[in-house]
Copies of this chain bind each other. A is one copy, B any other.
């Protein structure tokens, strides 16, 4: 690059303020992840996180509105990775049945949860009940929903799904089973991870059956009356 173009190519240049903030945010996120994964969510105290991140206690709540949001901070990163992996796997088999593509997505999250069940349980408790504005967590939640909807849309264009069922509602119906079995597994641990995964797949296939396009040559019959 010629020395003539000295006035910063396009970056607005980062002031000291911005840099310090970014560094602190990273330190906090790292500290939170390490402690949460090692000790669990409840057992980790805000004071520990602050100490490990080398910031004051109050500073923590400048970067996260409360302890739960520290959890999301950690999870956001991870789930972007999982989303990308799932997308790649789906692209590799464009004609795979809907259930299989859904399991590429759901299964990856189950795998992630399996490695840190306590953290995952805390996460999901907050995930499904969020009294916040749809900021942070809402975005993730929405992204998940959209991804499922995209898979449904594919299946619909392949006529695996009836066309008179709105995509969003079909996606909800499928997601419901994922939520249920995840909760059944992580919430009370009465079912193992393998059981949950297997039953989820089964439930999804029954669900797809209910959303399936009827055979082409079907005529109005009285068998699906009122």
Interface residues, chain A, with chain B CB atoms under 8 Å away: 97, 121, 124-125, 128-131, 134, 138, 165, 169-170, 172-173, 175-177, 179-181, 183-184, 186-188, 190, 199, 202-203, 206-212, 215, 223-224, 226
Contact A179 B183 (CB under 8 A): yes
Would you list 22 pairs from A and B whose C-beta atoms are within 8 A, ordered by A residue?
A125-B128, A129-B186, A130-B188, A138-B188, A165-B206, A169-B199, A169-B203, A172-B203, A173-B177, A173-B203, A173-B206, A173-B207, A176-B176, A176-B181, A179-B179, A180-B180, A206-B207, A209-B211, A209-B224, A210-B211, A210-B212, A215-B223
User: B180–A176 contact, CB under 8 A?
Assistant: yes
Nearest to A124 among chain B residues (CB) is B129
- Quickly give the copy total for this chain: 2
Kindly identify which residue among B138, B187, B208, B224 contacts A129, using a CB–CB cutoff of 8 Å: B187
Kindly provide the distance from the CB of A216 to the nearest chain B CB, expressed in whole angstroms: 9
Given contacts A179-B179, A207-B206, A209-B209, contact A172 B199 (CB under 8 A): yes
Distance in angstroms from A209 CB to nearest chain B CB is 4
